[in-house]
Amino acid sequence: KKHKIFLKMMTSVVWKRGSRCAINRVIPLRPGRLNTCAVRNCTTTTPTQAHITQTPETTTRSSATISTLDATTPEATSTSATVTSSTTTSSETSRPVRICIVGAGPAGYYTAAALLQKNKNVQIDILEALPTPFGLVRSGVAPDHQDVKSVQTRFTEISLNPSVRYFGNVHVGRDIAVGELRRLYTIIVFATGAAGNRKLTIPGSGLEGVHYARDFVAWYNCEPGAKRGYDLKGSTAAIIGNGNVAIDIARILARRIEDLDQTDISSETLEILRESNIKDIHVIGRRGPVQASFSTAELRELQRMPNVNVIVADSPSLSESDAGELKERVNLRKYDLVKKIATAQPDPTKKNIILHFLKSPVQFDGDDSKLNSLVVEQNVLVGGPHAQRAIPDEGKEFLRINCDVVFLSIGYKGKKIPGVPFDSRSGIIPNDHGIILDGENPLPGLYTAGWIKRGPSGIIGSNVFDAQETVDTIMSHWDQLVNKEGEEEKTGDIVSLLKKRDVRYVDWNGWLEIKREEEERGEKRGKIAEKFVDIREMVRVSNKDSV
Amino acid sequence: QFRETKMFMTRVFSRTPRYNQYARQFGVSHPMRHGAPKEVDENAPRYTVNWLLKDGSKVVTKDVEGVHLLEIAHKNGIDLEGACEASLACSTCHVIVADEDYYDMLPEPEDEENDMLDLAFGLTNTSRLGCQIILTKEIDGITVKIPQATRNMAVDGFVPKPH
């Protein structure tokens, strides 16, 4: 017997007398994991409002920017227990359902794709804070990984769908409030990614020469507003972290200039890299090789670089619980590659990328406020398979590693959107399979997808499934959201609001102008593109032909 | 306008070879690259692929030898993403071969494909990347399933332990 949760616009959850329902409780797991846990069955025999009713007090916090909706009495509507989710039930002659997606990265685009697959009568507006679309595909994926960027073709296809409009240079929270979006759109999906950093604050982390990986990546990828000023004249770099971003940085620092100078890497970065003296790059991971977050593919790429030795600092050892984790093929293949790398003979003429495991930085030391070394403690893993933690190994000494520049690559972190619930500890929007929760209450019409929903883990492709899950949740609520009796129709268009407010938004043709210009500039320098770093310049170029 | 843009994007964004260019010199089979459609002989025999889609429905396709399954999916409007356009830089075209017999008939995956499969959602013992399964007479009648996210499974593969 099927059972569904019925959402009412007063955000109370009601179900019929005698029906069973399954509520997925949201239990926050550690950051980086999808924020759902087991399904708990509960029965209720009362037809009254469920115990999760939004009280007026809790409404005020988020309703400041969420417009209050018509009061409806919490009677069970007479609709059937099952909801057809394969196709919409709104008639073709009715107005298209207005949907807003905040964020034009992979999560935003795959959400749009999944919505378009299920619905013909929709209008999807994608809002993006930068003038340019594609999120981390443009500003995160490294310039020597152009084939990973070819997903932009797919995203372009979605943008060109007549039901989709793109609005770049529109910052939700600054140019338009969430409350205003609620008046314009029936459904809003926040897919804003993870715009911030997980911080490491240990003694010396303020020294000159200590940087965040994310800032360095943003800089070499020409992200507007990226921090500049990296001194690579020293001989040794250290990267704290064991993810793909850490490997990206190691690789870019080690890459031959001739393998970079035709890409769309920042020209400023190219000049700094040309003058770089870095020969040794330490990549330092808190846990063991089996737990390292980097992909085997990325490690294999390092191994195959013609001008690089990959060295494993200590002979790789396994904990008891590692054996359990090695039953998973992804871990086994990764560990086998590390073992293989550990046996290779280094060539003294090449640059060195040195992999350290079971080490955590405890302080950075310097001379005259400039970094010259870092101190690490050695760790041991405790706990069962898939639940191992790194703790300091009291029996082992601290080690000093001389270095001239450090990149902290310990994770990205989401940022709060004004007017939307946020868990600042984990950096995600509390949600239940994609519907946003205020405390325990689902907020009707508000959804989330991507890293801001599940934490900053996974690859571009992970968002295909993440978006699918969110859209499945949206479809299960479709009838309640779309065929509301008494709900005022969404009138008005975001275009008039943005124009009135003098927001110089960039539409899809504007983006194509920017792209064309970047490629022309690139051609002059033998590069596939010379990206803009200045938003005002982008906007100016995008409006070239407009009145 | 879309076609122009699509070709334009492909030209620009596939221009720079990735590290894979070095790796492939050592491989036996060459990964398929996104390119212009090959000349098709009208009389060439066509072989069957059975698809089990995400929504549970079934589709049967017929195509000539030499095309890869991602291409076949897109030609037939089957919902299978191919983010990196068959360049072995993603795992979005992951399919599950329904029969172990058919799986065993396929040539062994290269390191590069296995590296991408490692990251695929819902990986099984008979998983392959669709862009690396080349249709041949030998695998006529193969059935492949497109993985679907289930409610109890996190998108990064984490399965919560039952209480």
| Structure confidence at residue B89 (pLDDT) | 95
Query: Chain B within 8 Å of A41 (Cβ-Cβ)?
Result: no
Number of H helices, E strands in chain B: 5, 5
Return the residue matching tokens 């946020």. A422
Q: Residue A443 in contact with residue A11, Cβ under 8 Å?
A: yes
Query: Chain A within 8 Å of B110 (Cβ-Cβ)?
Result: no
Query: Chain B within 8 Å of A433 (Cβ-Cβ)?
Result: yes
| Structure confidence at residue B151 (pLDDT) | 58
* Beta-carbon separation of B15 and A146 below 8 A: yes
Q: Which of residues 111-130 of B touch A (CB under 8 A)?
A: 111-112, 114-116, 118-121, 123
Sheet of B94-97: strand order equals B58-64, B46-52, B142-145, B94-97, B127-129
Sheet of A164-167: strand order equals A164-167, A122-127, A97-102, A187-190, A441-448, A435-438, A431-432
Rounded Cα–Cα distance for residues B63 and B38 (Å): 13
Strand runs (DSSP E) across A32-103, as ranges?
Answer: 39-43, 97-102
Q: What is the pLDDT of residues A474-491, one digit of tens each?
A: 999 999 998 765 455 677
Interface test with A, best of B13, B87, B113 (most A CBs within 10 A): B13
| Structure confidence at residue A259 (pLDDT) | 97
Q: Which of A14-23, A143-152, A268-277, A343-352 has the lowest mean pLDDT?
A: A14-23
Nearest to A246 by CA among A412, A387, A362, A107: A412
Question: One-letter amino acid identity for A323?
Answer: A
What one-character-per-residue DSSP string does A378-425 give?
A: EEEEESSTT--EEEE-TTS--EEEE-SEEEE-S-EE--PPTTS--BTT
SS3 for A432? Answer: strand
Instruction: Give the CA distances from residue A60 to residues A12, A51, A416, A438, B45, in Å, rounded to whole numbers and listed in that order.
Output: 15, 19, 18, 11, 68
Rounded Cα–Cα distance for residues B23 and B87 (Å): 12
**φ, ψ of residue A486 in degrees (nearest 5):** 85, -10
* Beta-carbon separation of B119 and A459 below 8 A: yes
C-alpha torsion A172→A173→A175→A177, nearest 10: 90
Q: Which of residues 434-473 of A touch B (CB under 8 A)?
A: 454, 457-466, 468-469
| Structure confidence at residue B43 (pLDDT) | 87
Rounded Cα–Cα distance for residues A542 and A241 (Å): 38
Q: Residue B154 in contact with residue B160, Cβ under 8 Å?
A: yes
* Beta-carbon separation of A454 and B163 below 8 A: no
What residues of chain B lie within 8 A of the CB of A300, using their CB? 23, 111-112, 115
Q: Is the pLDDT of residue A36 over 80?
A: no
* Beta-carbon separation of A150 and B111 below 8 A: no
Q: What is the pLDDT of residues A76-104, one digit of tens each?
A: 333 333 333 344 444 445 789 999 999 99
Interface test with A, best of B21, B88, B115, B128 (most A CBs within 10 A): B115
What residues of chain B lie within 8 A of the CB of A469, using their CB? 149, 151, 155
| 3-state SS, one letter per residue, for A333-378 | HHHHHHHHHHCCCCCCCCEEEEEECCEEEEEEEEECCEEEEEEEEE
What is the largest distance, in Å, between two alpha-carbon atoms of chain A?
77
SS3 for A206? Answer: coil
Q: Is the pLDDT of residue B70 over 60?
A: yes
- Between β-strands A435-438 and A431-432, what pairing exists: parallel, antiparallel or unpaired? antiparallel
Interface test with B, best of A147, A247, A252 (most B CBs within 10 A): A147
Nearest to B95 by CA among B56, B63, B121: B121
Return the residue matching tokens 């398929």. B32
Instruction: Give the CA distances from residue B27 to residues A336, A534, B30, B108, B113, in Å, rounded to whole numbers and listed in that order.
Output: 19, 43, 7, 11, 11
Structure tokens at A306: 């013609």
User: Rg of chain B's alpha carbons, rounded to an integer?
Assistant: 17
Query: Chain A within 8 Å of B12 (Cβ-Cβ)?
Result: yes
Q: Is the pLDDT of residue A546 over 60?
A: no
| Structure confidence at residue A391 (pLDDT) | 97
Structure tokens at A520: 């022309």
DSSP A140: T
Strand runs (DSSP E) across A77-203, as ranges?
Answer: 97-102, 122-127, 164-167, 187-190, 196-197
A545: confidence class by pLDDT, cuts 50, 70, 90: low
Q: Is the pLDDT of residue A21 over 50?
A: no
Q: Residue A375 in contact with residue A400, Cβ under 8 Å?
A: yes
Q: Residue B7 in contact with residue A514, Cβ under 8 Å?
A: no
Nearest to A38 among B6, B82, B163 (CB): B163
- Higher pLDDT pick, B50 / B160: B50
What residues of chain B lie within 8 A of the CB of A306, using their CB? 22
How large is the average pLDDT for residues B131-155?
Answer: 86
Q: What contacts 24+ positions apart, CB below 8 Å, involve A317-322? A: A317/A288, A318/A288, A318/A290, A319/A288, A319/A380, A319/A381, A319/A388, A321/A381, A321/A383, A321/A384, A321/A385, A321/A387, A321/A388, A322/A288, A322/A290, A322/A381, A322/A385, A322/A388
Nearest chain A residue (CA) to B33: A147
C-alpha torsion A224→A228→A233→A236, nearest 10: -80
Nearest to A317 by CA among A326, A308, A309: A326
Q: Which residues pair with A380 in a beta bridge?
A: A391
| Structure confidence at residue B150 (pLDDT) | 63
A496: confidence class by pLDDT, cuts 50, 70, 90: very high
Q: Which of residues 130-169 of A touch B (CB under 8 A)?
A: 144-154, 156-157, 160
- pTM, two decimal places: 0.81
Nearest to B149 among A157, A263, A465 (CB): A465
Rounded Cα–Cα distance for residues A5 and A82 (Å): 10
Instruction: Give the CA distances from residue A197 to residues A140, A404, A409, A427, B57, in Å, rounded to whole numbers and listed in that order.
Output: 13, 22, 9, 10, 43
Q: Is B24 exposed, middle or buried (0-12, 13-18, 19+ CB in 10 A)?
A: middle
Interface test with A, best of B9, B70, B79 (most A CBs within 10 A): B9
Q: Residue A448 in contact with residue A105, Cβ under 8 Å?
A: no
What residues of chain A lie within 8 A of the CB of B121, using their CB? 461-462, 464-465
Compute the nearest-CA separation of A4 from chain B (Å): 14
- Residue A393: how many other CB atoms lie within 10 Å: 14
Q: Is the pLDDT of residue A13 over 80?
A: no
Indicate the average pLDDT of chain A. Answer: 86
What residues of chain A lie within 8 A of the CB of B54, using their CB? 468
Query: B56's torsion region: left (phi>0), alpha (psi -120 to 50) or beta?
Result: left
| Structure confidence at residue A68 (pLDDT) | 34
B25: confidence class by pLDDT, cuts 50, 70, 90: very low
